[in-house]
Amino acid sequence: MGNGETRVRGIAARAGGWSARHRWAAVGIWVLFVVLAMGIGSAAGRVDLKDSDQLGGETHTAAKIIDDAGIKEPAGETVLIQAKDGRLKATDAEFRTAVAGVVTAVEGTGKVTDVKSPYTADTISKDGRSALVQFDMRGDAETAGDRVAPVLKAVAGVQKEHGTLRIEEIGSASMRKTFDDAFGDDFQKAEYSAVPVALGILLIAFGALVAALLPVALAITAIMATMGLIGIVSHVQPMTDTANSVMLLVGLAVGVDYCLFYLRREREERAAGRDGQTALRIAAATSGRAIIVSGITVCVAMAGMLFTGLATFEGMGLASLMVVAVAMVGSVTVLPALLSVLGERVEKGRVPFLAKAMERRAARTGGESRFWTAVLRGVLARPLISVVVAAGALLAVAAPAVGMKTQNLTLDQEFGNSLPIVQTYNRVNDAFPGGSEPAEVVVKAKDINAPEVKSALADFKARAISSGASRGPVQITLHDAQNIAYVYVPLVGGSDLDKAGASLEKLRDEVRPATLGKVDGLQAPITGQVAGSKDFNDQLGGAVVPVFAFVVVFAFALMLLSFRSLTIAITSIVLNLLSVGAAYGILVAVFQHGWGASLVGAQGVGAIITWLPLFLFVILFGLSMDYHVFVVSRIREARLRGRTTKDAIRHGVVTTAGVVTSAAVIMVAVFAIFGTLSMQSMKQMGVGLAAAVLIDATIIRGVLLPAVMALLGERNWYLPKWLNRLPDLTHDEAPEAVVASAPEHGERLRV
């Protein structure tokens, strides 16, 4: 099979061959696909996920009752009036004047309704130093943040007139506006800066502008097409903005990686003296196959999110799965066509000093990494010591994860003291425990004004306080036409979620059954921030085992079928789990224990946000497979060419080290951008992803993988005879590569 002849049998090789021969058709089909997906998606519009669909449990039941009744809950706002020095009381004339001034000012804006004075609504603190003026924003609660500015300005005006008092506004509308102003642009800046960062790293990696632009162009077009597809799919599975952000991150990472793998191999073959078409065919049969195996594995990992039962996660999983699939298809179809069109012009726009340095390095090393060659020499000389040291180090890094504490971060944990409104939130909670985020009981009855219902509501109100779950005031709002009542119960514990959670359980398990539970046909689900957090945690906790099992089992099966080796399938799973464990350990050490927290601006967080461990597991397990499949494919290819296993390991690792390093640097840089955001949840996500990818591309792939494979020797290719009946997905090999003679241990290496 010499003279550049190739035997094309695999999907990737056939797709690459067809695209190279029909290059303009392939490019045209891709452009048409992207344009149509965007056009149809734009016409269809994206369906956003409703609050009632985001969670299960009582939170979902309450939201469904409200939706079915057609009740539009307004955005509630609160103004805190508080004596600064402790001398003034709510009964003093100056305090009363300030309260009246706030009421007049907010009513004068014409933006609010149902203004309640603390003197009539009983919202004066026990010490008499604080009072709350409460009101609702007019119009849709979702857009109230856009209309609250005049109200905030009016309240600020009253504050200027009363220097001895603290007069501050907080509520869903003012909080949304504050966070949008402070952090809304943060995400866009992070997303926009990710592309130039990736382009800069690719320019250094390739030394030529055209070669650097190709991966970015493929990733961007894949993301654009997926955004259109999301609009269509959202009519079946509604999406959130979070799903879009995750899709962009994953799409940029895998889109650039896949193109990088393909392009590097094509350039390597041309540098070895092969003509353009032969180089393309070899790249299609080798890197193309690795891309398909990796892409399918990543898709399976992302599909794990569909088993959470949480609509937000399902949307993220589906969006990520789609962008990976689109990027994978684009990499093995339009990329070969573009490379065929460009030919030698892929080297256009060369950066002089970079290009010359790369040429000199390639001439000296034959395309192999000198650094990793030196590392591999030591690893392969002492594989057992290398395994013990590397695995021991990673287990030590992972150790803090054993004591991981997860919770939904409170406002001050999420944002620290960077925003004045966070301090207002804490002051309200100190003066009125649970008042800023009360539990909300949604009571639905056949007749809300029936005597037994009114009696049950009164009993619930009284027992909520006498049980110790609340210190009051418990407020009831009736919607007679819909036969629904809202009961607002400030929870003892306030912003302390553990204590507030205990108060919620008391309401749900003791107070409600003894009062509202005695009325036939009455529904009374309890919702609110604390209830939503508990329902979310319960549902997420129940999803952990199914998601882990699904991802691990299917990834194992795909590796087994793709490499026809039980050993490689097992080691790939173990190494990936070790990588994820190390990432967990770093997260706990930094964000929970505070080790080095000042370096990333994470002091005083003390916990990991609830959704992150499962999210990281799915994302990292998928992305880690990129490198694993690429490196092991190269090792297996070298083994099929007749090299010994040890030599194949050395060759596979050192020849892929450059592209894996470049890909990892891009991922680490992109994820690290999100680690610079002010929101602790985004910071945790960015740091966790960046740390895991860095560990995976260095210690795991550069040390542990070759050391383990060296120890196993020919057992790497072991497949029990009883598994020979499994489908054979190994046909897409580097054709020019496979030697005619069978390897020394024929049963263990099937060609």
* Euclidean distance between CA atoms 621 and 663, whole angstroms: 16
Mean of pLDDT values over 501-521: 89
Q: Is the pLDDT of residue 581 over 70?
A: yes
Angle (CA) 570 575 581, round 5°: 130
Helix (H, G, I), strand (E, B) or coil at 122: coil
In this structure, are residues 403 and 588 in contact, taking their beta carbons and an 8 Å threshold? yes
Q: What angle do CA 206, 363, 261 make, to 5 degrees?
A: 35
Q: Band the pLDDT of 362: cuts 50, 70, 90.
A: low
- Average pLDDT in the 346-370 region? 63
176-180, 353-357, 602-606, 638-642: which has the highest mean pLDDT? 638-642
Look at 129-143, 269-283, 410-424, 680-694 and tell me which has the smallest mean pLDDT: 410-424
Q: Kindly tell me if the per-residue pLDDT of 562 is higher than 60.
A: yes
For residues 615 and 635, is the Cβ–Cβ distance under 8 A? no
345/267 Cα distance (integer angstroms) = 12
By the 8 A CB rule, do 84 and 165 touch? yes
Give the residue-averaged pLDDT of 414-426: 78
pLDDT in tens, 705-729: 999 999 998 898 888 888 877 776 6
- Please report, for residues 56, 299, 304, 639, 652, the alpha-carbon distance to residue 656 in angstroms, rounded to integers and kept in the order given: 46, 23, 29, 15, 6
Residue 367 has pLDDT above 70, yes or no: no
Q: Which of 279-293, 575-589, 598-612 ranks highest by mean pLDDT?
A: 575-589
In angstroms, the CA 24 to CA 108 distance is 65
Q: Which of 458, 232, 209, 537 is nearest to 348 (CA)?
A: 209
Distance CA 274, CA 272 (A): 6
H helix and E strand count, the chain: 28, 10
The DSSP bridge partners found for residue 488 are 440, 475
Residue 71 Cα distances to 76, 140, 270, angstroms: 15, 11, 67
Query: In 435-449, which positions are buried (b, 16+ CB within 10 angstroms) versus exposed (e)?
Result: bbbbbbbbbbbeebe
Determine the angle formed by the axes of helices 241-271 and 311-342, rounding to 10 degrees: 30
Upper half-sphere CA count for residue 479 (Cβ side, 13 Å): 17
Joined together, the tokens standing for residue 79 give 């103004």
Side chain identity, residue 114: D
Instruction: Please give the residue that has the higher pLDDT: either 10 or 391.
Output: 391
Q: Cis check for the bond before 473: say yes or no (omega within 30 of 0).
A: yes
Structure tokens belonging to residue 260: 């990088």
Cα–Cα distance, 574 to 140 (Å, whole number): 51
The predicted-structure confidence for 91-133, as pLDDT tens digits, reads as follows: 889 999 999 999 999 999 999 999 999 998 888 888 889 999 9
CB of 675 closer than 8 Å to CB of 602: no
The mean per-residue pLDDT over the stretch 32-56 comes to: 82
Closest CA to 488 of 61, 122, 145: 122
Neighbours of 14 (CB within 10 A): 16
Angstrom distance (rounded) from CA 137 to CA 107: 10
Residue 445's contacts (CB-CB under 8 Å, 6 or more residues apart) are 453, 483, 485, 519, 521, 522, 523
- Is residue 183 very low, low, confident or very high in pLDDT (cuts 50, 70, 90)? low
pLDDT of residue 156: 92
For residue 182, what pLDDT is reported? 67
**pLDDT, tens digit, for every residue of 468-477?**
888 877 888 8
pLDDT for res 740: 33
Listed range (126-130, 431-435, 533-537, 625-629) with the worst mean pLDDT: 431-435
Question: Taking the CB of residue 102, how many other CB atoms lie within 10 A of it?
Answer: 27
Local structure of 168: helix, strand or coil: strand
Has residue 4 got a pLDDT over 50? no
Query: Does 56 or 693 have the greater pLDDT score?
Result: 693
Q: Which residue, 16, 656, 628, is CA-closest to 330?
A: 16
How far apart CA 543 and CA 425 sit, in angstroms, is 32
Buried b (16+ CB within 10 A) or exposed e, 358-371: beeeeeeeeebbee
Mean per-residue pLDDT over the chain, rounded: 83
* 3-class secondary structure per residue, 550-582: HHHHHHHHHHHHHHCCHHHHHHHHHHHHHHHHH
Checking 673-679 for CB contacts under 8 A at 24+ apart, the result is 673/190, 673/193, 673/194, 673/197, 674/190, 674/249, 675/600, 676/190, 677/183, 677/186, 677/187, 677/190, 678/182, 678/183, 678/186, 678/415, 678/416, 678/418, 678/601, 679/183, 679/186, 679/414, 679/415
**Per-residue model confidence (pLDDT) at position 353:** 65
**Is the pLDDT score of 435 beyond 80?**
no
Q: How far apart are the first and last CA of the chain?
A: 15
Cα separation, 456 vs 414, whole angstroms: 39
Looking at residue 21, its amino acid is: R
Residue 89: pLDDT over 60? yes
**Which position has the higher pLDDT, 747 or 45?**
45
Residue 588: the pLDDT is 92
Q: Are strands 608-609 and 406-407 parallel, antiparallel or unpaired?
A: parallel
* Rounded Cα gap, residues 297 and 319, in angstroms: 16
Mean pLDDT of the 451-465 span = 91
pLDDT tens-place string over residues 123-164:
888 888 999 999 999 988 878 888 999 999 999 999 999 888
Quick check: helix, strand or coil at residue 309?
coil
Q: What's the confidence (pLDDT) of residue 417?
A: 67
- For residue 428, which of 148, 133, 193 has the smallest C-alpha distance? 133
Is pLDDT of 746 > 60? no
According to the model, what pLDDT value does residue 735 have? Answer: 43
**166 in helix, strand or coil?**
strand
Closest C-alpha among 540, 445, 515, 517 to residue 485: 445
Q: What is residue 493's predicted lDDT score, i.e. its pLDDT? A: 77
Give pLDDT, residue 495: 64
> Residue 74: its pLDDT value, please?
84
- 416 Rama sector, left if φ>0, alpha if ψ -120 to 50, beta otherwise: left
How remote is the C-alpha of 563 from its chain's centroid? 30
- Backbone angle region of 137, left / alpha / beta, with phi > 0 → left and psi within -120 to 50 → alpha: beta
Nearest one of 423, 606, 632, 355 to 497, comparing CA atoms: 606
pLDDT of residue 354: 61
pLDDT at 750 over 60: no
Show Cβ contacts of residue 467 under 8 Å, excluding neighbours closer than 6 positions.
506, 507, 510, 511
Distance (Å, rounded) from C-alpha 617 to C-alpha 620? 5
Give residue-wise pLDDT tens across range 193-216.
778 888 888 888 777 888 888 888
Question: pLDDT higher for 224 or 71?
Answer: 224
CA distance 285 to 293: 12
